[in-house]
Structure 1
Amino acid sequence: MPLVGVTANRLIDDGDQREWVRRRYIDALEAYAKVEIVVLPTRSIEDKNGIWRLVSRLDGLVLTGDESNIDPEYFVRSNTPRPAPTEGAYRRAERDPFRDMMVSFVLPAALQKGLPILGICRGLQELNVFFGGELYENISADRNMLCHKEDLSLPRDRQYDPVHEVSVQSGGMLARILGSSGPILVNSLHSQGIRWLASGLNCEAVAPDGLIEAASVSNAGTFQVGVQWHPEWHIADDAVSKMLFAAFGKACSDFESKRLIADRAE
C-alpha cells in the first residue's frame, strides 16, 4: 500500500510543544485514497538530509490546512539559510514558523522526486508561495471580495458546509478528475488566498470574485494539485471530495509501483 506523508503543525500550549494534525485528513486518506499514513513533524532546525531520506521512502505528500498563516520570512524558494524559528515567533492560529520551515524543505524534495502532492487550504498557498506567487494577507479587507472566512456563530461541523461556487476550468487536471468542468460547491475557511498565481502553476478553479481556488503544478506528469477548500471534512457526503482523494490515491499507487520496480532493478 502506498505510504503518504502528512504535514503536521506545531501546537504550543502552556509552554508544552506538540505535533498535531486533524484526524479527518487521516480518515479521508485511509478510506478514500487507500493509502497508509506517516505524520511529518515540524522542524526547529535545518535538516535537509533527514528530509531527503524521509521523502525517498514516500509515495505521496499531503500539505494540510491549519489556522496559521504562512510567514514569508521562513518560506523562501532559495536554499539560503533561514533563521531557526523560536517559540516567541509562534502565535497560535496566526503564525507557525516550525511548519513553514518543514514545508520549505519537504516540498522541494517531493517535487524533485516527482511525488504526487495534494495541498489543502494552507497547502495550496504553500505551493503558490514556493513557486513565486503572492498571497492576500487578509482577503476580507478587500471590499470587492467574497467573505471567505467561516461563520463562527455556527457549530464547528456546520462551518465546513458549502457556502459558494467555484468554476472548474475546462481542460485542466481538476476537470479531468471530476469528469467535467463547470461550477461545484465548496466550503470556505481562510483569510489568506492567492493574489498572484505563480508562473509554475496552472489555474484549476476560480471563485465568483475571481479568487483562484485550485491550482496544479505545470507539466507535473502526476497528480500535484492544491485546493483552497477542505474536501476532507464532509467527504462521506460529497462526490467531488471522493473523486479528488481517489485520484490522489491512484497517483500514489502508480508511484509506488514504479518505485518498487526501480528498487528491484538496483
Structure 2
Amino acid sequence: MVRPVVGIIGNQHLINDEYPVFAAGQMNCAALSQVSGCCPLVVPINPSLVSTAELMEVCDGFLFTGGRANVHPEEYGEVATEAHGTFDRDRDAVALPLIRACVQRGQPIFGICRGFQEVAVAMGSSLYPEIRDLPGRDNHRMPPDGTLEEKFALRHPVTFKEDGVFHKVMGRQVVQTNTLHGQGIKKPGSRIVIDGVAPDGTPEAVYIKDAPGFTLSVQWHPEWQADIDPVSNPLFKAFGAACAAWQQKRSNPLKSVS
C-alpha cells in the first residue's frame, strides 16, 4: 500500500553560495517516514512553480518546517524593520494560502517553528520580532555555538491546558522541549487556540478552533530525535494518523460519507 504523501514546505538555499535549491532537513524527512509512516515530498516554494490546488491534490498533508527567514510583517499589517530579520516572500506566497485552504478543507497540517508562526499569521495573528527583547521574557534563540546535540538540547518546560488537545496527545500536561526561535505570537487570531506555553508565557503550542482536520503546531523542533523522544514521537504519530485518515477518505469518498 502506498503511504500517505506529506508535502514539506522547506526553504531556499544556496549550494556553495551560488547554486539555488529548494531544501528540507533530513530530520524532518526521517520523522515523517519513520514515525509518521508517510512519504516525504519536498515542495518547491515558489508560487510561479506550484499552486495551492495542485499541492492539495498531490499531497495528503503538509509539514511547515522551521527556517531562518521570517514571515514578512506586511502579512500581519506591520512595517518591516531591521529587528524582523530576513524574509522569504516566495515561501510566504506558497505557505499562507495553502494553510488557509487546508484548514477550510480539513486537510492535515503540522507547523514547526517558522511553520508555527506561518499558521498563526495565516489565521490572523501578529508576531513579535524578537521575544528576548520583551520585559520578563527569556531568550528562546538557538545557542550560537556547540554541537547539534547541544543546540537541540531540552531547555524549558511547556505546560498544556488540562484535558486540552496537546495534553491528550502527549498523555501528560507538562513536557520538556528544545527552543530555537526568535519570534513569537503577539496577538493571536480569533481562531488560534494557545494550548501550551513556556514558563515566561510565550505561546508554544496552538491549534485552529473549529477546524475539521489536524492543525497542531509547535514553536519548538520535534523533528529532533523524533523516533525516540517522548514528546516528539506522539506528535508525529498523531500527524501521520491524520494523514492516513485523509488518504483513506480520498480513496473511498463514499465510504467516508456513509
Please give the TM-score of this superposition, normalised by the length of structure 2: 0.89
Contact 2:9 2:63 (C-alpha < 8 Å) held by counterparts: yes
Counterpart-to-counterpart distance in 1, 2:45 and 2:122: 17
Partner of 1:4: 6
Where do 5+ consecutive residues of structure 2 fail to align? 78-84
Partner of 1:232: 223
Structure 1 residues 65-214: aligned runs within 5 Å: 65-73=66-74, 75=75, 94-181=86-173, 183-214=174-205
Contact 2:4 2:60 (C-alpha < 8 Å) held by counterparts: yes
Counterpart-to-counterpart distance in 2, 1:45 and 1:187: 35
Contact 2:208 2:216 (C-alpha < 8 Å) held by counterparts: yes
Partner of 1:60: 61
Partner of 2:81: none
Over 3 Å counting, the alpha-carbon distance change for 1:76 and 1:143 in structure 2 is closer
Where do 5+ consecutive residues of structure 1 fail to align? 78-92
Contact 1:195 1:211 (C-alpha < 8 Å) held by counterparts: no
Partner of 2:242: 251
Over 3 Å counting, the alpha-carbon distance change for 1:120 and 1:113 in structure 2 is same
Structure 1 residues 13-32: aligned runs within 5 Å: 14-32=17-35
| Deviation, structure 1 residue 15 | 4.2
Contact 1:6 1:64 (C-alpha < 8 Å) held by counterparts: yes
Contact 2:106 2:214 (C-alpha < 8 Å) held by counterparts: no
Counterpart-to-counterpart distance in 1, 2:11 and 2:254: 32
Question: Residue 216 of structure 1 is aligned with which of 199, 207, 210?
Answer: 207
| Deviation, structure 1 residue 159 | 0.4
Contact 1:177 1:243 (C-alpha < 8 Å) held by counterparts: yes
Please give the TM-score of this superposition, normalised by the length of structure 1: 0.86
Partner of 1:40: 43
| Letter paired with 2:94 | M
Contact 1:166 1:184 (C-alpha < 8 Å) held by counterparts: yes
Partner of 1:51: 52
| Deviation, structure 1 residue 215 | 0.2
Counterpart-to-counterpart distance in 1, 2:228 and 2:252: 37
Counterpart-to-counterpart distance in 1, 2:212 and 2:105: 12
Counterpart-to-counterpart distance in 1, 2:223 and 2:207: 18
Contact 1:206 1:214 (C-alpha < 8 Å) held by counterparts: yes
Contact 2:105 2:212 (C-alpha < 8 Å) held by counterparts: no
After superposition, what is the alpha-carbon deviation per residue over 1:137-185, rounded to whole angstroms, capped at 9, x for unaligned?
A: 011111310110121122233100100111011122111111232x210
Counterpart-to-counterpart distance in 1, 2:172 and 2:135: 32
| Letter paired with 2:32 | L
| Letter paired with 1:262 | P
Partner of 2:82: none
Secondary structure of the residue aligned to 2:58 is coil
Contact 2:97 2:122 (C-alpha < 8 Å) held by counterparts: no
Matched length: 246
| Deviation, structure 1 residue 192 | 0.5
State percent identity of aligned pairs. Answer: 31
| Letter paired with 2:35 | Y
| Letter paired with 2:164 | G
Over 3 Å counting, the alpha-carbon distance change for 1:64 and 1:254 in structure 2 is same
| Letter paired with 2:246 | F
